[in-house]
Amino acid sequence: MLITLAWRNLWRHPSRTWLSIASMALTAALLVFMLSFQLGMYDTLRSGALKLLDGFAQVQPPGYIDDPDVRKVIHSPQQLVSSLNHIDGMIAAPRTSSYVILAHDQLSYGALLEGVDASREPRITTLAATIHSGRYLNAQDSQSIIMGRTLARNLKLSVGDKVTLLGSAADGSIAADSLTLIGIFDTGVIEVDRQLAQMPLARFQETFAMNRDVNIIAIGGGSLHAVDQQLPRIDKIAENSKLVLHNWTVLRPDVHQAITLDFSTALLWYAAMVLIVTFILLNTLLMSVFERQREFGILLAIGMQARQTGIMIWLELLLLAALGNIIGILLGGSATLWLQYQGISLGKFSGLFAQWGLPDRIHPQLSMTSAVSGPLVMIILIGIAGLIPYYHLRRVTPLTAMQSI
Amino acid sequence: MIESLVLIVPLAWRNLLRNRRRSLITFIVVIIGMYSILFFNSLLNAWAQSTRNATLDLMTGSAQIHARGYLNDPTIAHVMPFPGTTLQHILSAPGVTWAARVRVPAIVQSEYKLLPVTLTGVMPAQEMKISTIPHAIVEGQYLANPSDNGIIIGRHLAQRLKTRVGKHVIVMSQSRDGANQEQSYTVEGLFAGNKAAEDDFIFTGLATAQHMLNLGGNISEISFKSSDAQLPSVIATLQKADPSLDVRSWQSLSPFTAATDQFMHGFTLIWSIIMFVLMAIGIVNTQLMTVIERVREFGLLRAIGMKPALILLQVIVESCLLTGAGVIAGAAGCVVTIQQLHNGIDLSFLARGAEFFGAGHVLYLHVIFQQVLVFTLLVWSFGVLVTLWPAVKAAHANPVEAMNHAA
Amino acid sequence: MNHCRFKRASNLACSHASIAVVFAVLITTARTMAAPAADAGALLKAAFDNWRANSSQTTMTMTVHRPEWERHMSMLACTRSEDKALVRFIAPPKDAGNATLKLGAQMWVYNPKLNQVIKLPASMIAQPWMGSDFSYNDLAKADDVLTEYTHHIVASTHADGHTVFDIEAIPKPGAPVVWGKQVLKVRDDGVLLQQEFYDQDMKLVRTMNTDKVAILGGRDYPVVITMHPAENENNWTRIETTQGKFNISLPDYLFTQSNLENPRDR
């Protein structure tokens, strides 16, 4: 009954109502976009950091993460890799790794050498994009190696040079090989550029007497989100093989911490922004309510109770807020979805980021959280503030109200 | 026209006072809008700046001087003499702070582990002025002087080495004559920074490092800090003063930071634009609402014979006064707030659980006068402009209709 | 970058002095020379002097034990004075030909497959030597326990007709050693029976035991020694010396990089 009245009331002043709805809808739309953009950006940064080397998740032998050892292996991983690859949109790549001596002429340095599957790895990691001279490994390569810029510089190596490796094989014997440097990468990450080298998996397994065993299986795919959703399934597969699954927060606690910090700062800004815009909108809404004193006086005079009038006003405000925010969510949501599909070009920055394998577009991420949180806060605050006219009206008599204008 | 203004201004002023609640609400909305735009803008700029400085203020500084060849082969092979009077003179310009370092690859060893690191010999008093590391000691204390023979290592490195303050570690590096040098150092302090820095850098006194590496008075690096505006000229002067040296800005030393910085600025811009639009919506909404509420009043004025142009002028003047006062009050409030916050806003409470510390999480806000001016004028003219459309409509409306418009 | 990926860099316990024993074992001379019981430093030095014959040539087998596997290797070792050593593996075929040369603090390794001599980078000295529980560092820093420590006798016992001294070795102030202390058991005739390595919190990190003393090359010699890391009971490395000749003349060329690469017949 009151709600019908409130609804009809709204449309007795269409321009005022539309104005309120429009401003609220625009605000809500911007809030939806902003949070989606923010979430999308963190996702881009997070994926960028993970995609450089680690992948979105890894299956490892138990204890490997704390004490990596070439002898801690996943036996005959083919079955496991192919069952992981069968999960929708996921790519799994086996890797081996060991600390070795790399030598050239009289120079020798310690390095972390990884054996990688050159056909799968580029679909999981972006290291290939950071190659600054030569090229990345491919499926035909055998006696090839790629390494970080600092490592190559320390060894005074350029593309095409021979480099020898000496390490400790899985069976305890000496692992030794002579390889040709075919590419040098520059990731901008000091530790990686100084210590990392990669060679073809099969050759690594042969050199380190590993049969077909591998040390880890890196998992990548379309998006971090998609992989995260499949984690319980992967976990089951890993558990069946007596292996452990590590998600990205375990693999990269540093990235997790940095993003958590940055994100909580950004959320603080966002919360402040929502409060401010809601406050401004509320001011205006309340102003227009108080402009209607005369109208309330008449309502009271014709016998409506102050309480009922108050509830009616409150309902009007809530209806306005709901209407404005629903339109806002639809508006903001569809704009965000379109941008999510299109991606927002980074313009002049895109080239800048390409050299580190970061994407040249940011895709906002529309989610339940980003679509609803801003508008919901607005509605709740308006709902609370809508009680002000209610309390005010209870002290109003028809006479004072009608005199006020 | 002047005459009309003389007539209108007092009228408008009285009008504003008469509708005290309405005026007050509009005023508050404009103040908050203006204040928020400016404050958020400088907050986000400070954020971008602190994100950049969190990296640069660890070791890089604004720029660095090396012997030619050092950047390609950052070892003991490329050192330079301690800066002479000419260089020191340039580096002691107002607004410039500098520190000399020895910086060479080394290996640190504990009972349990041996790790590759960068041994850095520093002048502690100078280092405190250009780097956040001396201020980010989480355990023990920083070096006392250039002859201090203790060592400061990263917190994470200490965990990896399974060592702590008070224990000793062995540092190995090559001296200038190619011989392997090793020396025992007592861990005097642990610093917190980003993980890469915590793992990479270990610090001892400059003289101690020079002695260990048989360097005489030579150094590897001068890092200095200056304002962004003055940086290019300082670099040019230094380069001219000694062409044999390699002077590089932070953009050239740390391209990834430069890219991230530009990205952050783009991001800040998007935020600022959205903030501006949101505030504009709020202000426009209030102004429009006010005018809509007053359609009846305008009808009355028309009925008593006031010309539409005059009514319009009155609305403009009222809006000018009200928005103007709000905009100026908002801007002034923001400038005062920023000045009050000169000690910075410490965001570390956000990171309590995450074990982050100090560096880069204190925001230092700055008033950018140009921005204040631009935003003030923009919001002011915008606020006045949006009242025009309904005012024009109202001014020309049929008085009877207008008076019936709203109850 | 996840640092764990790089943990291999140096996750192995590194010891300054245990090779004192490995090499000591290689070169032990069993001249039974009673050391003055009161002076720990002199006793230890006498023990080391006894082991350090002018030169030695020994044949050894090394067993590396892990819970999942065990490996046996044979090697020939030559030493001359305290700073030159050459170890060449002769079995199994997979490892045969690999060799390590130590000249002072520097080390080189030779691999027959690569046919190349590689200088051991400083960042690798904590890595296990041939996959064992000894590190390259153990070989390089053989003398530390003599030169960088002060010594005290903390106990003496009698066993098998010998007096056995427990000697505590504490690093000299500022000495470039990582250990908190070492505790050595030395028999009065200069045979080392045990060497323990403690961290700076005086927690035991690893122990080397002499499992068997027998006559070799005419002297009492710890023919079987075993190295145990304290934190991992199931890992150990045992070295058994099967043949030994001492105080023989070894030519200069033996201890050169070119000989490492192209061994001449001995």
**Any idea of the CA torsion for C43, C48, C51, C55, to the nearest 10 degrees?**
-140
User: Chain B neighbours among A 364-403 (CB < 8 Å)?
Assistant: none
The DSSP result for B356-374, as a single string, is --STT-EE-----HHHHHH
Contact check, Cβ <8 Å, A110/C123: yes
Residue B16 has pLDDT above 80, yes or no: yes
Question: If you compute the radius of gyration of chain C from its CA atoms, what whole number of angstroms results?
Answer: 18
With a cut of 80, say whether residue C12 has pLDDT above it.
Answer: no
Identify all chain C residues contacting B182, using CB atoms and an 8 Å cutoff: 176
How is residue A130 written in tokens? 């950071």
Per-residue model confidence (pLDDT) at position B358: 40
CB contact under 8 A, C13 and B163: no
Partners of B398 in the β-ladder: none
Query: Measured between alpha carbons, how far is B324 from A24 in angstroms, rounded to an integer?
Result: 25
Burial C73-109 (b: 16+ CB within 10 A, else e): bbbbbbbbebebbbbbbeeeebbebbbbbbeebebbb
**Mean pLDDT, residues C163-175 taken together:** 92
Return the partners of chain A (3 or more C-beta pairs < 8 Å).
B, C
Q: Which residues of A touch B263 (CB under 8 A)?
A: 346, 349, 352-353
Which range scores top for mean pLDDT: A297-301, A388-392, B60-64, C54-58?
A: B60-64
Q: How far is Cα A152 from Cα A307, in angstroms, rounded to an integer? A: 81
Query: Could you tell me the two tokens for A200?
Result: 């073809």
pLDDT at B355 over 60: no
Count of CB atoms situated within 10 Å of the CB of A298: 15
Name residue A361's beta-bridge partners: A345
Per-residue pLDDT, C27: 42
Q: What is the pLDDT of residue C18?
A: 44
What pLDDT, on a 0 to 100 scale, did the predictor assign at position A58? Answer: 94
**pLDDT tens digits, one per residue of B118-142:** 999 999 999 999 998 998 899 999 9
Q: Is A356 on the interface with B (CB under 8 A)?
A: yes
Cβ-nearest to A283 among B286, B288, B292: B286
Which of B73, B255, B292 is opposite residue A16, by nearest beta carbon?
B292
In angstroms, the separation between the Cα of residue A209 and the nearest Cα of chain B is 27
Average pLDDT over residues C222-250: 90
Cβ-Cβ contacts under 8 Å, B252 against chain A: none
Q: How far is C185 from chain A (nearest CA, A)?
A: 31
Nearest to B182 by CA among A318, A242, A48, C141: C141
> Please, what is the average pLDDT of chain C?
80
- Among A268, A273, A266, A324, CA closest to A28: A324
**Could you tell me which chain C residue has the CA closest to the CA of A191?**
C1
Instruction: With beta carbons less than 8 A apart as the criterion, state whether B387 and B315 touch.
Output: yes
A399 touches chain C (CB under 8 A): no
HSE on the CB side for A133, CA within 13 Å? 11
pLDDT recorded at residue B3: 75
Residues in B touching C122 (Cβ below 8 Å): 107, 172, 180
The percent of residues in chain A predicted with pLDDT above 70, rounded, is: 94
Closest by CA to A109, choosing from A152, A69, A68, is A152
Task: Quote the percentage of chain C above a pLDDT of 90.
Answer: 32
With 60 as the cut, is the pLDDT of residue C56 above it? yes
Quote the longest CA-to-CA distance of chain B.
102
Confidence of residue C37 (pLDDT cuts 50, 70, 90): very low
Cross-chain CB nearest to C9 (options B115, B163, B170): B115
Judged against a pLDDT cut of 70, whether residue A355 lies above it is answered with no
pLDDT band at B206 (very low <50, low <70, confident <90, very high): very high
Region A61-81 average pLDDT = 87
Which range of A294-298, B193-197, C54-58 scores highest in mean pLDDT? It is C54-58
- Whether the link from the prior residue into A232 is cis, omega within 30° of 0, is no
Q: pLDDT for B267-311, tens place per residue?
A: 788 888 888 888 888 877 787 777 777 777 777 888 888 888 888
Residues of chain A positioned with their CB less than 8 A from the CB of C117: none
b/e string for C186-210 if b means 16 or more Cβ within 10 A?
Answer: bbbbbbbbbbbbbbbeeeebbbbbb
Query: B281 to chain A: which residues are within 8 Å by CB?
Result: 23, 26-27, 277
By Cβ distance, the residue of B109, B184, B199 closest to C14 is B109
Test C3 with B160 for CB contact under 8 angstroms. Answer: yes
| C9/A110 Cβ within 8 A | yes
Looking at the complex, does the CB of residue B73 fall below 8 Å from at least one CB of chain A?
Answer: yes
Across the interface, whether the CB atoms of A276 and B32 are under 8 A apart is answered yes
Q: What's the mean per-residue pLDDT of chain A? A: 86
Query: How far is Cα B329 from Cα A369, in angstroms, rounded to an integer?
Result: 36
3-state secondary structure of A264: helix
Q: Examine the pLDDT at C266 and tell me if it is beyond 60.
A: no
ipTM reported for the complex, 2 dp: 0.77
**pLDDT for C68-97, tens place per residue?**
888 899 999 998 887 889 999 998 988 899
Mean pLDDT in residue range B313-337: 89
pLDDT for res B110: 92
Element at B120 (helix H, strand E): strand B114-122
Cα distance between residue B284 and residue A98, in whole Å: 65
Summarize pLDDT for B144-173 with one digit per residue, the tens.
999 999 999 999 899 989 999 999 999 999
Spatial contact of C51 and C25, defined as CB atoms under 8 Å apart: yes
Question: What is the pLDDT at residue A402?
Answer: 64
C7 vs A25, more confident: A25
Question: Using the beta-carbon criterion (under 8 Å), do A101 and C121 form an inter-chain contact?
Answer: yes
Instruction: Tell me what pLDDT residue A88 has.
Output: 82
Radius of gyration of chain B (CA): 31
Cα→Cα distances B373→B36, B38, B331, Å: 15, 10, 9
Q: How far apart are CA A93 and CA A214, in angstroms?
A: 10
Specify whether the CB–CB gap between C196 and C182 falls below 8 A: yes
In this prediction, residue A403 carries a pLDDT of 62
Q: Answer whether residue B377 shows pLDDT above 50.
A: yes
Contacts of residue A50 in chain C, CB cutoff 8 Å?
none
**Tell me: the pLDDT tens digits for C134-145?**
888 887 777 788
Strands (E), chain C: 55-65, 70-80, 84-91, 99-103, 106-111, 116-119, 149-159, 162-171, 181-187, 192-198, 204-216, 219-229, 236-246
Is A104's pLDDT higher than 70? yes
C157, with CB counted inside 10 A (0-12, 13-18, 19+), is exposed
**Arithmetic mean of pLDDT, A357-364:** 75
| Residue pair A127/A53 in contact by the 8 Å Cβ criterion | yes
The alpha-carbon gap from B236 to the nearest alpha carbon of chain A, in Å, equals: 25
CB contact under 8 A, A349 and B263: yes
- Is A288 touching B (CB cutoff 8 A)? yes
Looking at beta carbons, which residues of chain A come within 8 Å of C1?
53, 189, 191-192
User: How many CB pairs (< 8 A) connect B and C?
Assistant: 59
Whole-number pLDDT of residue B336? 93
Neighbours of chain C (3+ CB pairs under 8 A): A, B
A273 inside 8 A of chain C by CB = no
Query: What is the signed CA dihedral for B282, B286, B287, B288, rounded to 10 degrees?
Result: 100
pLDDT digits (tens, 9 = 90+) for B49-88: 887 887 888 899 999 999 998 887 788 889 999 999 999 9
List residues in chain C touching B: CB distance below 8 A: 1, 3, 9-11, 13-14, 105-106, 122-123, 125-126, 137, 174-180, 197, 199-201, 205
Question: With bands split at pLDDT 50, 70 and 90, how would you rate the model's confidence at C25?
Answer: very low
Q: Cβ contact (<8 Å) for A109 and C9?
A: no
